[in-house]
Chain A
Amino acid sequence: MNNDLPRWATGIVLPLLNLLSALLVTALVIHLLGEDPVESMQILINSAVVNPEGLAYTLFYASTFVFTGLAVSVAMQAGLFNIGAEGQMYLGGLGLTIAMLAFDASLPWFLLIPAGMVGAALFGALWAFIPGYLQAKRGSHVVVTTIMFNFIAASLMNFVIVKYLIPPGEQNTASRVFAPAAELPRLSDWLPVLGDTPLNISFFLAIIALAVYGVMVSRSSWGYKLRATGLNQHAAHYAGVKISAMIIATMLISGALAGLGAVNSIMGSTHYLSLNFVGGAGFIGIAIALMGRQHPVGIFLSAVLFGALTQGGFDLSLEKPNIPPEMVILIQGLIILFCGAMEYLYAPALIKLIKGKQA
């Protein structure tokens, strides 16, 4: 169906129409709740983009979302639907924390930060390896196994945090706070206008990751094999691609990226590992990958959009009594619904429109 449309239409017009539909439904819900949709949208935009502190928060959330979005995207390129970014990021947080708890007293910051990143990527990759291996070698579907692994991760982390990481005498289900050397430098140190916001250098890491992803996927021979696997496994196999090795490698990269999402959340903000710190970022990654069409620029824009929704939605709930913070979850769901599941809803009408113009 999408083949009948030029690239600008499928890449820009359709996603915009879908996004507008999602926002329209949201506006309807807000109206039904007895609040003014236009005013609400103004509050949201103002606090998420216009106000510099708000913008910093938006980009802070976006830095995490870029990583989970990339994690889901790279798997999607190979035709794998990784629903497990949530669990992989959770385990990534554990890997990071173990590295910090072991070394934060002895290593300087320029070694600690890479150590944290390696720990996060390693644990995330390990958690994605098993579903990848099972898909490649035993044919068990990665969708179902990654869902299982999200649940197993939740139970496992609950156990590990409660049993091993809570410092003696503490009640809070969290690890101890890391040494100050493990804190990522904040951008507000150089730009005071950003205020006391957690936006940190992992924003640039996210940009680098996007660039590396873009080059790897569309410019390297590995990326060519990756996309070939995604488009037609059998054809790729006969062209000499080792499918099972490809699947395992892709899941390892995907998991490592998801794990890296923990770096921004933990080393950039809280400085300790807490229960449920991921908070749905892995699932948002699915939305970002779909809306961004697995393209680096698209992933960046969608990540910023979801960052803005997270930040703006929070402020909106403070100002409007009938709009709780959970409204953001609803909006996220609607965006996934319209941009992901019903992505070609307007395609027939658009085809008619374009063809009509030419005639």
Chain B
Amino acid sequence: MSFEDLHLGSIVVSTVRNAPVLIFAAMAGLFAERSGVVDIGLEGKILASAFVSAAVAFATQNPWYGILAGMGVSVAVALLQGCIAITQKGNQLVAGIAINITMSGLTFVVAQYFFQQGGRTPDLGEARLSEIVLPGSAAVADVPVLGWIWTQLLGGHTALVYLAFALVPLVHWVLYHTRFGLRLRACGENPHAADAAGVSVERTRYAAMLIAGILCSFSGAYLAIVQSGFFLRDMSAGAGYLALTAMVFGNWRPFYTFLGCLMFGFFGAVQIQLEGVDLPVVGRIPGALIQMVPYVVTVIVLAGLMAKSVAPKAIGVPFVKSR
């Protein structure tokens, strides 16, 4: 057992590659929830987008058309969710759960109908997003540490990875430094005050759901077009709930939420690396137990033992204009 056996470098790189699925979804959830709409339906939107992205990318042999189509369907689902939560004033938790279950069934049924491969889409092959090679990679490739950083850590990813990481400061700026962000937060904290100040709570929440739909679609597209190269039944495997957790962990703030996503990405990478490796003192740790760690950490955070997590005050409450 030596340090190299831990493959620290590859753990870091796969953390970076695991995180975007969660970052996109968590930022999507952040917009929805900061506006006052609970978004348990992230999982369903990810699945819908993953399937449509993969199917369209395969049919057109162009990943960008896939991403675009995934965006369309994810936005449609988000607006349906918004319609229930905002216009119908229905139960938002139930709507989210219903969307997740419906999408889990629908994507399989449609995938099976079109491709007859057990609810899978064919391999995308060339229709996947290509990895970006940073300039000068060939020159520094053999330099010990710098070469690894330049070619593996910073370079060699697809455009969506860079978009995910760039999204965090952007979301922070939108939330805290724009008029829209102020209004969004007001709708989530005190919709009646926002309403009295002349902000249309309904319109703001719909805008938030629209953004959530767009952002969430990247998560599904990344999963299908970048990570695996096909759509598989229930391939999101709880990523939507994980993103939600990262958001709760991060106290509904973009940067801390991002850290939560990295934590989950890290544990996902560690789990794969440590499978069957003998560690000093503790011996072999089964993957199932490592898998548990982020959830346990989140429960501890929720219990207020590390930091207090405070949700937006008006979250989950339909806004009824008072007279």
Contact = CB atoms under 8 A, between A and B. Distances in A.
Interface in B117-162: 119
B84 A342 contact: yes
A341 B84 CA distance: 7
A337 B99 contact: yes
B286 A163 contact: yes
A138 B307 CA distance: 12
Contacts of A148: 245, 295, 298-299, 302
A134 B302 contact: yes
B228 interface: no
Contact of B105 (A147, A332, A342): A332
B245 to A, nearest CB: 7
B273 interface: no
Contact of A333 (B104, B245, B295): B104
A333 B101 contact: yes
B97 A138 contact: no
Nearest to A150: B241
Contacts of A283: 97, 101
Nearest to A144: B248
B286 A343 contact: no
B235 to A, nearest CB: 14
A286 interface: yes
A140 B302 contact: yes
A344 interface: yes
B271 to A, nearest CB: 10
B109 interface: yes
A76 B140 CA distance: 61
Given A162-B286, A327-B105, A151 B302 contact: no
Given A141-B302, A155-B288, A336 B109 contact: no
Chain B contact patch, size range: 35 or more
A159 B286 contact: yes
Contacts of A327: 105, 109
A158 B288 contact: yes
Chain A contact patch, size range: 35 or more
Interface in A1-22: 1
A316 B108 CA distance: 16
A290 B298 CA distance: 28
A324 B112 contact: yes
A331 B105 CA distance: 8
Interface string A321-359: 011101111111110110011111100000000000000
B95 interface: yes
**Across chains A and B, which 7 residue pairs bring their CB atoms closest together, nearest first?**
A333-B102, A330-B105, A329-B105, A333-B101, A341-B95, A337-B98, A140-B302
26 contacts: A81-B93, A134-B299, A138-B304, A139-B304, A141-B302, A143-B93, A144-B248, A145-B302, A147-B244, A148-B295, A151-B295, A152-B296, A283-B101, A286-B97, A324-B112, A326-B104, A327-B105, A327-B109, A328-B105, A330-B109, A334-B98, A337-B95, A340-B90, A340-B94, A340-B98, A344-B88
Interface of A: 1, 29, 33, 81, 83, 130, 134, 138-141, 143-145, 147-149, 151-152, 155-156, 158-159, 162-163, 283, 286, 290, 322-324, 326-334, 336-337, 340-345
